[in-house]
Amino acid sequence: MLNRKPVRRVRSASDSREGREVHGRRITQNRELNDSERVELLRKSYFQTHLPDIPPIPGYHVCWLTTQNPRDPIHGRLRLGYELIQAHEIPGFEHLGMKTGDYVGCIGVNEMIAAKLPRNLYEAFMREVHFDAPAREAEQIYTAALETGEQAAQAAKRGGRMKTPLIEPGTQELGQAREPPTFEP
């Protein structure tokens, strides 16, 4: 019995694939995307599709944390009060438990780790980041606008030619107190 090696055909640059139309085959459907289909593709590209939704845990806000951001490390989140979710805590997520590495037993997908944050801390963090800090910034802008307006008014009185500047309505609204929102999951 002879041992024969399979013969492999070497293709040259002139051996290119030919389209269906060369062999007389008709194209039976339009494969071009229309504008609404392109918009739909764009819309879908902005939504994550690889991370499963973590079911709600009473008393906690749940989220995914990355292990790849050196400016926002997991140990920093743990210090803030986040807790990593163990795979045995959520029925049906056992298969997502990390088998090796620093997060053994935690729910993980690629570099993402599931975490939970007590609801009271979540509310406090959201209020600080999305209400209190922007309110402080708005107050600084409003105060600066008032100071600038007063300086311009005094200059106008001295010079006699300039009119007293007006503070625009949008800037006036910055100085008004607002009620803090509640942050729902």
- 30-58 confidence digits (pLDDT tens): 667 788 888 887 777 666 567 888 999 99
Q: Say what percent of the chain tops pLDDT 70.
A: 64
pTM for this one? 0.59
State how far the alpha carbon of 64 is from the alpha carbons of 38, 83, 112, in Å: 29, 11, 6
pLDDT at residue 66 greater than cutoff 70:
yes
Chain centroid to CA 47 = 9
Mean pLDDT of 97-102: 92
Domain ranges within the chain, ordered by starting residue: 60-120, 127-174
Higher pLDDT, 19 or 102: 102
Q: In whole angstroms, what is the distance from residue 174 CA to residue 138 CA?
A: 5
Burial of 79-110, coded b for 16+ CB within 10 Å and e otherwise, reads eeebbbbbbebbeebeebbbeeeebeebbbee
Judged on CB neighbours under 10 Å (0-12, 13-18, 19+), 123 is: middle
The pLDDT-based confidence of 67 (bands split at 50, 70, 90) is: very high
Q: In whole angstroms, what is the distance from residue 183 CA to residue 151 CA?
A: 40
pLDDT of residue 43: 77
Mean pLDDT of 83-101: 92
pLDDT digits (tens, 9 = 90+) for 115-143: 999 999 999 999 999 988 888 888 888 78
| 24-28, 60-64, 77-81, 106-110: segment of lowest average pLDDT | 24-28
